[in-house]
């Protein structure tokens, strides 16, 4: 993408974020209603869809498909992240009217930190294509960990947060640090995952920004729904595992390894990846809701 496209996009996203932050600050002493959370979530989802669709008009069809694959993956991973946020804010006993500002500040901090991860990831990829073996292996490992930890519903306070508390920091400040730190940790999964779908820095950045943009409102919208999405972790594990395998296959092709013996190593297209991601999310959501209905 040209510098002018980067500049215009950056300014537009910055304006939206500043506006969103201003609203969060104004409402810092109010409890966010379900209606407001629903309307803002629909707004940001529509914004992302509109942006992605426009890419196919002023850029390329590949850019459009890449964005939607990346954005849907990042947004779906955000659902699992939100479950951790819910546990953090509940554990620290943050007042309902303060949750909006905590989430907003934490997300803005994580946005800058993720930018560093993306820049570093792009630099590494451009120099060493074999790093995809590492990224792929890490995603497969993460997929196994997600399945293994699917039953855990306890968030444990780390040493850093305990130290801040001992030094007299308020629960509000501790929550800010916890949310920002959690977002950085989540980046270790999400950044390799999206690089497994596209290497275009512009698509990687915009997909991440749009996924983070609606995270605060999504928190208030699905807080009560999270317990019903009981197969969410398993679905995300399948997606991460699939992208991990895709990365390893791509790395093998980069090394000129197109066959294992007489068996040809397949190529996984972006269209197939997008289809797998959407199908897995749809199936796990339906299965979760059906299971939750049986339990209730």
* CB contact at 8 A, 86 and 226: yes
- Compute the distance between CA of residue 43 and CA of residue 152 in angstroms, rounded to an integer: 33
pLDDT score recorded for residue 50: 93
User: Can you give the pTM of this predicted structure?
Assistant: 0.70
Q: Tell me whether residue 131 is exposed, middle or buried, using C-beta atoms within 10 angstroms of its C-beta: 0 to 12, 13 to 18, 19 or more.
A: middle
Which tokens in the block code for residue 93? 């006993």
- For the chain of 296 residues, list the mean pLDDT of each consecutive stretch of 10: 84 84 74 77 90 89 89 77 69 70 72 73 69 75 71 53 64 71 68 77 86 75 64 78 80 71 75 80 82 66
pLDDT score recorded for residue 111: 74
Domain ranges for the chain, please list them: 3-295
Q: Measure CA of the first residue to CA of the last residue in the chain; give whole Å.
A: 51
pLDDT score recorded for residue 230: 72
Which tokens in the block code for residue 98? 């303060």
Which tokens in the block code for residue 160? 């850093």
Which tokens in the block code for residue 24? 């969060």
Which three-class secondary structure string do you get for 18-38? HHHHHHHHHCCCCCCCHHHHH
pLDDT score recorded for residue 81: 67
Distances (CA, A) of 180 to 104, 184, 186: 10, 6, 10
pLDDT score recorded for residue 274: 76
* CB contact at 8 A, 222 and 79: yes
pLDDT score recorded for residue 53: 92
């Amino acid at each position: 993408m040209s510098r002018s496209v980067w500049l215009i996009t950056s300014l537009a996203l910055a304006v939206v974020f500043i506006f969103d932050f201003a609203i969060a600050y104004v409402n810092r002493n109010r409890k966010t209603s379900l209606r407001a959370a629903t309307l803002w979530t629909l707004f940001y989802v529509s914004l992302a869809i509109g942006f992605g669709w426009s890419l196919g008009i002023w850029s390329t069809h590949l850019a459009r498909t890449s964005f939607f694959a990346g954005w849907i993956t990042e947004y779906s991973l955000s659902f699992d992240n939100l479950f951790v946020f819910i546990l953090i804010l509940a554990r620290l006993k943050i007042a309902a009217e303060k949750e909006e500002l905590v989430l907003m500040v934490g997300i803005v901090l994580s946005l800058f930190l993720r930018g560093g991860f993306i820049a570093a990831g792009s630099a590494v990829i451009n120099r060493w294509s074999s790093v995809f073996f590492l990224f792929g292996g890490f995603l497969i490992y993460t997929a196994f960990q997600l399945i293994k930890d699917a039953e855990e519903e306890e968030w444990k306070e780390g040493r850093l947060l305990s130290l801040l508390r001992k030094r007299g920091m308020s629960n509000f400040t501790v929550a800010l640090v916890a949310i920002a730190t959690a977002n950085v940790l989540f980046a270790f999964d999400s950044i390799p995952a999206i690089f497994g779908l596209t290497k275009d820095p512009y698509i990687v950045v915009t997909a991440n920004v749009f996924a983070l943009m609606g995270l605060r409102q999504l928190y208030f919208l699905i807080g009560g729904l999270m317990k019903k999405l009981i197969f969410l972790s398993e679905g995300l594990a399948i997606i991460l595992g699939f992208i991990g395998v895709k990365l390893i296959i791509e790395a093998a092709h980069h090394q000129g390894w197109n066959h294992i013996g007489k068996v040809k190593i397949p190529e996984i297209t972006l269209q197939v990846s997008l289809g797998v991601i959407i199908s897995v999310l749809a199936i796990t959501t339906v299965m979760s809701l059906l299971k939750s209905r049986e339990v209730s």
